[in-house]
Structure 1
């Protein structure tokens, strides 16, 4: 393996903040060092437009008057795929005949600039964001960060390579069919494809507008999630942005993960890729996971619809809005879209009907596990091989990615080790929409088991001072919120997951309150006559807790419950006035036992 590259500064976001706050570095000094460092990688061809000192001066001046601790991305350098607008800098979408001079930056870029980030340049891409390989650019192919003779992946090729080489801390890409994940896998970094519609696409040149989303390339999954949270602001003028929802559920310390069976993986290019995938399964099992084989056929059928169905018409529409003649379009892109005009309105509706049926099937599969794990792509090809066979080889790269936005799943690509040719390989974790943060938390844990370096650099993968799980609260429930009972949906609708069943310390009396349905119990602490009562502990996203508490009726409230193992948990308590007309049911030991005896009595 070639010696790794050593950037002048380790570009992890928290580390840069420490240097700035200590006065050991300034953003201007950092950019000067990166200017010199990036000249060594002309053979990788990551940039279409590298900002001059004059062009980035306004961004440096915008930091004046701000302290490093006042902005979460103060002085953090980032790259922007050249189909995402940066005010005053031409957008080419990888085509020499196009030079859009935007009067405003894309909405997501504006959010990152407001947080203190500094753009370094616009990155190379497969033309019109149509391709997964990085060779379809009028500005030349983008070479892999590890070896310039091999593809970088695409279409967000330059963005991934810039992060992998240590030229920037993070980069924006787009992802319609895998463009934010394949380049991440082939360059040994994190690639986050958020929930479709989570981030605004205002200021992003469309490729397939109904399926486009902004992707994030980062050094670690937690940093990717940090960028996601800062860019995730509501844009009232974007018709494609969706209202946020709680995740279906959190990934707890023990979890199940779906994997395609060996005969559906199709890893024929590199037999050792199957070994790397098996190693990933072992890593996840060591983290508390349980592997479950799933049928991958409906996912593959959905993937085929993207380019063998009417969605290619949508790509054709986007291109026709930018160029006037086919000869202005890269030949491989022309070939991909050839015949798009043959699809009728009826074909479009039939494809949507089929997709709805497949979505029902795949949702049932995804619902049966906590997450699904696949290869990100089969493996890399040389640039020469890709140019010689641009359609077939590119299609292979999308085998595990093309379906993701069609089926509305969130996904993150994680380094999965190295092939025998010393090039990186990756895996993807995916789940239901709005599970982005939960996927990133697990991806971070997996990442640290697989490797100890970042991208093609010598930078160590240093543990970050972040929680092992998303920001959550544990809530102990003892009655109608128990699993299978009438109010349990108030927990599950907020993305809560059952953590454990346990009893309280033997210091409580348990009462069936007057009224109902729903029938409700009350816990009252009693130091001298208390007993242990069965409870369930549910882990809930922190930002959903407020609305949960708001729905709790008097005389119940939230306080601290002592559990039998000596720990404490937030849970339901009852005011003394609630004892009027209540029945002491402490002898039952818990709500399930009480309701069972009540049912027998009533019947």
Structure 2
């Protein structure tokens, strides 16, 4: 049984790139850490195959030896690939050993990542033949959610979600035909992005339903999704579904369509209903305007996926294998495949006509909203519950995701807190085809992220010059650790505040340490300072970090996203026992210190008066 209690994501793509470019880390150190982390957990169902440590070290060394490689957009970033996508020289199994083969070429989307400097580290687990949203349909060990309590990981991209949520890699490549990327993202507290069909090439993906398949991404932040998607998004003449990218979000006020709560089904899960209601009520605080929308045509379209002839499309790829080796297929997947044989050409055309009518109804609804927000999942299940009734559980898990590709939509699953009993809550932001940038912008607003849709390409000068860092506690001007910044050549850029998406924690009792923690809901603006230091000094600061702090991204009030001191994963997840108090009501460490000791005034104004 998984003893984890929530995601413990590691460094993000942007944090890794910053560390490489300032000399505080290397790709070699990163792949060493990956191999160690995977070995420490053992075979927990996250990975089907992992690249050997020696091979990873050789790949990292070769990358480090390339002139100017550090300027590549994904230099040294480790990533996993769902095991239905080809990587040359590595088996593609689809979680079916008898189906496995070793491809000679790499999928176009994966090759784009490698060409951008990313390091492929392994193939992640999935529901067999990418059929299901559970994560349990596998002959390998069944993965569990990072939230523990025997909760399913979700699928079919189970391993891709877990690899990110466990902090083993900052992003993973997955797929999403019926919700296979969004559902496991929701169940593991990370961000799961399903682009519009055709924006990422599917050449080299073993089809599930080729007319609906999407290659998708999992990450812990929208910022990382932006960086990776910019690399992967490209027209491919070899892909019959390929099409150009839509327009960038232009900054206009966004209108969010919200179905009436009575239209939403939580399958008797009152705690999930309550948590979703709270998350919805917070949307206006993120600058989003809301309007009512009828969910009916969306749900009607979703019923066509598994209760219509699209099940038969899976047989285009797998019918021969089903006939020759039926016993090699997991029973519930075999049952689904066999069910596809009952549909006729008449059934197919009838369904296509119904879908076209539903698309017309949905198109009218988009005229009054930019995006729609619904739950990603209406409830959760344990592994025993799914094994006892796999089809019914799968239907409930896909209630809000099945219609996405049928209606040619784009969507992103966004973590939105926990239920009262500690289960993950996720909002799904949905938009019409090619509105991807707007959908991602809304996801970033919900998460309180500063978003750079197209990060500037680093130059040699920026890779070695200076670095800005945000401090919120003992390193503030006049505080006891501030001399560390001055000794390293630091200078104060500005006194400012964070975006209103943080809590300030007092960690420890005898010698407390203040720490910033970003939260999805109910955050505050916290007083901070922005300092500028020689980039080479970052390694010194990192070495002096107390155990409960880490270097991470901090969103400031002006929308900028800057490296700074934040709470580490042990504080975020409760993995270690700390005495932790929320002192956000004071607005900052100085104000808190003055409240408990009026003589303590280290503000810049006080220093000037003295």
Q: Take 1:69 and 1:139, find their aligned partners in 2: how far apart are those partners?
A: 38
Aligned to 1:82: 83
Q: Take 2:557 and 2:196, find their aligned partners in 1: how far apart are those partners?
A: 22
Q: Take 2:259 and 2:386, find their aligned partners in 1: how far apart are those partners?
A: 27
Q: Take 1:465 and 1:171, find their aligned partners in 2: how far apart are those partners?
A: 28
Question: How far did residue 337 of structure 1 move?
Answer: 2.9
- Structure number, greater radius of gyration: 1
Normalised TM-score (structure 2): 0.72
**Contact 2:372/2:429 (8 A) holds in 1:** yes
Question: How far did residue 45 of structure 1 move?
Answer: 1.5
1:447 aligns with 2:447: yes
Question: How far did residue 402 of structure 1 move?
Answer: 0.4
> 1:360 and 1:251, CA in 2 relative to 1: closer, same or farther beyond 3 A?
farther
Q: Give deviations 1:102-153, integer Å, cap 9, x for gaps.
A: 1111100000001111111100000010000100012121111221611001
> 1:224 and 1:305, CA in 2 relative to 1: closer, same or farther beyond 3 A?
same
Aligned to 2:314: 315
**Contact 1:106/1:203 (8 A) holds in 2:** yes
Aligned to 2:421: 421
**Contact 2:28/2:57 (8 A) holds in 1:** no
**Contact 1:408/1:433 (8 A) holds in 2:** yes
Structure 2: runs of 5 or more not aligned: 449-500, 503-516, 521-547, 561-610
Q: Give deviations 1:46-65, integer Å, cap 9, x for gaps.
A: 00001102443563224421
Q: Take 2:412 and 2:359, find their aligned partners in 1: how far apart are those partners?
A: 20
1:337 aligns with 2:403: no
Aligned to 1:462: 553
> 1:215 and 1:460, CA in 2 relative to 1: closer, same or farther beyond 3 A?
farther
Secondary structure of the residue that 1:49 maps to in structure 2? strand
Secondary structure of the residue that 2:373 maps to in structure 1? strand
Secondary structure of the residue that 1:86 maps to in structure 2? coil
Q: Which moved more, 1:395-404 or 1:132-141?
A: 132-141
Question: How far did residue 277 of structure 1 move?
Answer: 1.9
Secondary structure of the residue that 1:198 maps to in structure 2? coil
1:325 aligns with 2:416: no
> 1:86 and 1:357, CA in 2 relative to 1: closer, same or farther beyond 3 A?
same
**Contact 1:95/1:139 (8 A) holds in 2:** no
Question: How far did residue 334 of structure 1 move?
Answer: 1.6
Q: Take 1:246 and 1:23, find their aligned partners in 2: how far apart are those partners?
A: 36
> 1:366 and 1:276, CA in 2 relative to 1: closer, same or farther beyond 3 A?
farther
Structure 1: runs of 5 or more not aligned: 470-603
1:203 aligns with 2:269: no
1:434 aligns with 2:434: yes
Q: Which moved more, 1:292-301 or 1:42-51?
A: 42-51
**Contact 1:376/1:426 (8 A) holds in 2:** yes
1:233 aligns with 2:234: yes
1:153 aligns with 2:154: yes
1:367 aligns with 2:367: yes
Question: How far did residue 217 of structure 1 move?
Answer: 0.1
Q: How many residues align?
A: 463
Aligned to 1:242: 243
> 1:400 and 1:158, CA in 2 relative to 1: closer, same or farther beyond 3 A?
same
Aligned to 1:12: 12
Aligned to 2:177: 176
Q: Give deviations 1:341-395, integer Å, cap 9, x for gaps.
A: 2211111111101000000111111221111000001122101110111000011
**Contact 2:157/2:181 (8 A) holds in 1:** yes
Secondary structure of the residue that 2:553 maps to in structure 1? coil
Aligned to 1:300: 299
Aligned to 2:49: 49
1:37 aligns with 2:37: yes
Aligned to 1:101: 102
Aligned to 1:143: 144
> 1:427 and 1:62, CA in 2 relative to 1: closer, same or farther beyond 3 A?
same
Aligned to 1:507: none
Question: How far did residue 267 of structure 1 move?
Answer: 1.1
Q: Take 2:558 and 2:90, find their aligned partners in 1: how far apart are those partners?
A: 38
Q: Take 2:189 and 2:43, find their aligned partners in 1: how far apart are those partners?
A: 19
Shift >6 Å, 4+ stretches? 457-461
**Contact 1:452/1:461 (8 A) holds in 2:** no
Q: Take 1:465 and 1:81, find their aligned partners in 2: how far apart are those partners?
A: 35
Secondary structure of the residue that 2:289 maps to in structure 1? strand
Q: Take 2:349 and 2:421, find their aligned partners in 1: how far apart are those partners?
A: 45
Q: Take 1:382 and 1:13, find their aligned partners in 2: how far apart are those partners?
A: 32
**Contact 2:5/2:147 (8 A) holds in 1:** no
Aligned to 1:121: 122
**Contact 2:186/2:426 (8 A) holds in 1:** yes
Question: How far did residue 329 of structure 1 move?
Answer: 1.0
**Contact 1:160/1:217 (8 A) holds in 2:** yes
Q: Take 2:25 and 2:250, find their aligned partners in 1: how far apart are those partners?
A: 39
Q: Which moved more, 1:12-21 or 1:172-181?
A: 12-21
1:274 aligns with 2:273: yes
Superposed counterparts of 1:549-560, under 5 Å: none
Secondary structure of the residue that 2:79 maps to in structure 1? strand
> 1:66 and 1:403, CA in 2 relative to 1: closer, same or farther beyond 3 A?
farther
**Contact 1:441/1:468 (8 A) holds in 2:** no
> 1:423 and 1:257, CA in 2 relative to 1: closer, same or farther beyond 3 A?
same
Aligned to 2:187: 186
**Contact 2:48/2:83 (8 A) holds in 1:** yes
**Contact 1:222/1:440 (8 A) holds in 2:** no
